[in-house]
Amino acid sequence: MRIRHMPTLLLALVLLLGACGGGDSSDGRSGDGSGSGDGDGELVVGGDLGLPDYFPSDFYVPDSVTIRGVSENPAANTMSLTGRYDGDGDAVRADMVSGLQAAGYELLVDDEDISVFIKDGVGRIRIRAREFLSEPTLTVDIDTWTDEQIAELRDISAEEIVVAGTGIATFGGEIIEAVGECYLKGPKRQFFAEDWSFSLQIDETRDPVYVYADITPPEGQGLTLDESAGADWESSPTQLRASGEMYDYTDESADNVDFTIEVTCAG
């Protein structure tokens, strides 16, 4: 049986409405229908299947799950798995979460409906175990993304952490010290002083890297980073630093001033 570009939900429906168990095989796996693609895609359905060769060799499926269908769509860089499970769906998904983490898969999301993993060389993996048309159904979808795409998803999904921070701003021969908070979300890091005397933002998720800084001296003028002059920067979860030139946006006739902002974030 060959069907191209089969979404997982439709795959599950096909299995529940049309698939039935086949005869035993020597390895305990059997199938009553199969298909092979020619590069456009593949769907294999059966009573008790094993993982196909295109699935990661270290992919964990609990023994309580009977794989009823697998599919691949190379054109869309996706692959899917559908099966039935014995017992409680939450317990089955928890078993898969534990097994995949042990195999080196990184858990991004784990809520009451879905578990989402990523792994370099594999992609994004979404897992659900729930009732579908009164049948306990496990569905697995893998987007076979590049490692660069995975890194972008990791950055987007990173949890924001807020910690205490202290900073020193040096500009035009003056120095301001301030305390505030660092907002850390993966490689997107920001510092804001409690009295708004200065701020620093460095976002490595953007290309080119986004750097912004401003200083409000006691005299009241407003200095902000002159992006056209470029800026040097360093960024880590504990240290932020930027230097370059600032202009006074309250006085267009004023000359640019050199600045350096250094921030230490609590570990």
Q: Are residues 111 and 67 in the same domain?
A: yes
Q: Residue 206 has what pLDDT? A: 83
pLDDT in tens, 173-188: 899 999 999 999 888 9
Question: Would 257 be classed as within a structural domain?
Answer: yes
Q: What is the pTM of this model?
A: 0.58
Average pLDDT, the chain: 84
Q: Which domain holds residue 252?
A: 161-265
Q: Are residues 225 and 112 in the same domain?
A: no
Q: Check pLDDT > 50 for residue 244.
A: yes
What CA–CA distance (Å, rounded) separates 89 from 113?
A: 10
Helix, strand, or coil here: 148?
Answer: helix
Question: Would 134 be classed as within a structural domain?
Answer: yes
Please give the sequence-ordered ranges of beta strands (E in DSSP) within the chain, or none if there are none: 42-49, 65-73, 78-85, 106-110, 115-119, 123-132, 135-143, 161-171, 174-185, 188-193, 198-203, 210-215, 223-225, 231-235, 239-248, 257-265
- What residue type is assigned to position 192 of the chain? F
Q: What is the DSSP letter of 63?
A: T
More confident residue, 134 or 211: 211
- The domain boundary, picked from 96, 130, 156, lies at 156
17-31, 47-61, 248-262: the lowest-pLDDT one: 17-31
Task: Find the mean pLDDT for residues 230-237.
Answer: 93
Q: Residue 160 has what pLDDT? A: 87
Task: Find the mean pLDDT for residues 50-69.
Answer: 92
Q: Are residues 127 and 180 in the same domain?
A: no
Confidence of residue 12 (pLDDT cuts 50, 70, 90): low
Q: Check pLDDT > 50 for residue 23.
A: no
Question: Would 2 be classed as within a structural domain?
Answer: no
Q: Are residues 17 and 120 in the same domain?
A: yes
What CA–CA distance (Å, rounded) separates 264 from 238?
A: 6
- % of the chain beyond a pLDDT of 90: 57
Question: Would 3 be classed as within a structural domain?
Answer: no
| The total number of structural domains that make up the chain | 2
Q: Are residues 198 and 74 in the same domain?
A: no
Q: Are residues 136 and 184 in the same domain?
A: no
Question: Would 36 be classed as within a structural domain?
Answer: yes
Q: Are residues 90 and 211 in the same domain?
A: no
Q: Are residues 91 and 28 in the same domain?
A: yes
Q: Are residues 168 and 139 in the same domain?
A: no
Q: Are residues 120 and 151 in the same domain?
A: yes
- The domain boundary, picked from 123, 156, 189, lies at 156
Confidence of residue 18 (pLDDT cuts 50, 70, 90): very low
Q: Check pLDDT > 90 for residue 20.
A: no
Q: Report the candidate in 121, 187, 183, 127 with the shortest Cα–Cα distance to residue 152.
A: 187
Question: Would 1 be classed as within a structural domain?
Answer: no
DSSP of 191-239, one letter per residue? EEETT-SEEEEEETTSSSPEEEEEE--TT---EEE-GGG-EEEEE-SSE
Q: Check pLDDT > 80 for residue 125.
A: yes
What CA–CA distance (Å, rounded) separates 199 from 181?
A: 10
Question: Would 146 be classed as within a structural domain?
Answer: yes
Q: Residue 121 has what pLDDT? A: 93
Q: Are residues 133 and 204 in the same domain?
A: no
Q: Residue 5 has what pLDDT? A: 41
Question: Would 234 be classed as within a structural domain?
Answer: yes
pLDDT in tens, 65-94: 999 999 999 999 999 999 999 889 999 999
More confident residue, 45 or 38: 45
Confidence of residue 1 (pLDDT cuts 50, 70, 90): very low
Confidence of residue 46 (pLDDT cuts 50, 70, 90): confident
Q: Check pLDDT > 80 for residue 32.
A: no
- The domain boundary, picked from 113, 133, 156, lies at 156
Q: Are residues 12 and 143 in the same domain?
A: yes
